[in-house]
Copies of this chain bind each other. A is one copy, B any other.
Amino acid sequence: MRLEDEIKQESFRNEFHKLAVNLIYTHSWLVSKIQAILSEFDITPQQFNILRILRGQHPSPASITLLKERMLDKMSDASRLVDRLIQKGLVERKVCTSDRRKVDVIITDKGLKLLEEIDKTNEETDSYLKNLTLNEAKKLNELLDKLRG
């Protein structure tokens, strides 16, 4: 569906301006889809992302800095995110024995099991994007990579 119709704006200054608005709008569209799926598991998209990063590291722990590097936002609130995951019993935090400034963050078995359950929704998540063919998805990825320079 055309952006102009969806936000009821007749025109843009130019194609680049339209692109900026389109990215912002489409991001919001996508994230709300993902959020709807994840809310059934009582988890937010950002918390989910942390769990996946930790699973990728498992059984090694991850530091807060490593989590930040792997996350999609430039300066995320990783420490507080981890706090909330600890409350949910999905991760544990330990003092790092080799460097007392660091903490070791580890995913729990409960966290791993939750990810397994969520993995079962992969088909549904992908389906939202399958308005595009595989080649179109590839093209879109290439263009996004090029856009960032």
Partner of A72, one of B7, B56, B129, B134: B7
- In the bound complex, how far is the Cα of B137 from the Cα of A147, in angstroms? 9
Q: Is the CB of A15 within 8 A of B138?
A: yes
**Count of chain A residues near B, Cβ 8 A:** 56
The secondary structure that dominates the A interface is: helix
Q: Which residues of B contact A148 (CB under 8 A)?
A: 1, 6, 26, 29, 131
Q: Which residues of B contact A24 (CB under 8 A)?
A: 27, 30-31, 72
| Subset of 13 A-B contacts with CB under 8 Å | A3-B141, A7-B71, A15-B141, A16-B129, A20-B129, A23-B30, A24-B27, A25-B72, A26-B144, A28-B72, A28-B73, A131-B147, A132-B143
